């Protein structure tokens, strides 16, 4: 007997469920593509989205107050996506296996190098929301943390 079910045709196929595949999937499911928003706009939008249901926010232009709202229902993604990975059936299977194998306790990357393209400070927010700030370790000499010549001059002038 022949199966009459047509094969599923996916809009997107991602090969590899590691950090890059996960970043691609996150980017494709992003509600606010970074190509049309600045970093500051993204940061403000994500803050509002995260906190708007818990507090009143005043509109600067109209002066109107928005009341806290219940969480809106989740909308489905636009694309049918299939992720293929020979390492396992979950995201980051090989990554997690190698971390256990080499006994890696901390990811030594700046927190802004993570997979959520829509919220640059998402990992930091998650850390504080879940009381895990004791796990944060400062990386000295990290790119983006250097002082500019103006900041160094100001620091010298203040005697610090």
Burial-class residue 16 by CB neighbours within 10 Å (0-12, 13-18, 19+). Answer: middle
- Would you say 70 and 53 are in contact if contact means Cβ atoms under 8 Å apart? yes
pTM, two decimals, is 0.50
Q: What is the pLDDT of residues 63-119, one digit of tens each?
A: 777 766 666 666 665 778 899 999 999 989 998 999 999 998 877 776 666 666 667
- CB-based burial, 36-62: b 16+ in 10 Å, e otherwise: eeeeeebeeebeeeeeeeeeeeeeeee
The pLDDT tens digits for 108-148 are 776 666 666 667 677 888 889 999 988 888 777 776 666 67
Residues in contact with 38: Cβ distance below 8 Å, sequence separation at least 6, in sequence order: none
pLDDT digits (tens, 9 = 90+) for 43-56: 787 777 777 666 77
Question: What does DSSP say about strands 57-58 and 81-84: parallel, antiparallel, or unpaired?
Answer: unpaired
């Amino acid at each position: 007997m022949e199966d009459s079910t047509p094969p599923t045709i996916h809009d997107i196929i991602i090969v590899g469920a590691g950090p890059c595949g996960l970043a691609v999937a996150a980017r494709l499911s992003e509600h606010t593509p970074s190509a049309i928003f600045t970093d500051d706009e993204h940061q403000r939008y994500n803050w509002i989205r995260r906190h708007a249901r818990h507090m009143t926010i005043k509109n600067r232009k109209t002066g109107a107050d928005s009341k806290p709202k219940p969480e809106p229902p989740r909308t489905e993604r636009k694309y049918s996506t299939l992720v293929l990975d020979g390492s396992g059936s979950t995201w980051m299977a090989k990554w997690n296996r190698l971390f256990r194998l080499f006994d890696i306790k901390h990811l030594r990357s700046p927190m802004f190098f993570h997979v959520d393209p829509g919220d640059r400070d998402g990992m930091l927010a998650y850390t504080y929301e879940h009381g895990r700030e004791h796990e944060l370790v400062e990386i000295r000499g990290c790119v983006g943390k250097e002082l500019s010549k103006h900041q160094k001059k100001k620091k010298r002038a203040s005697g610090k």
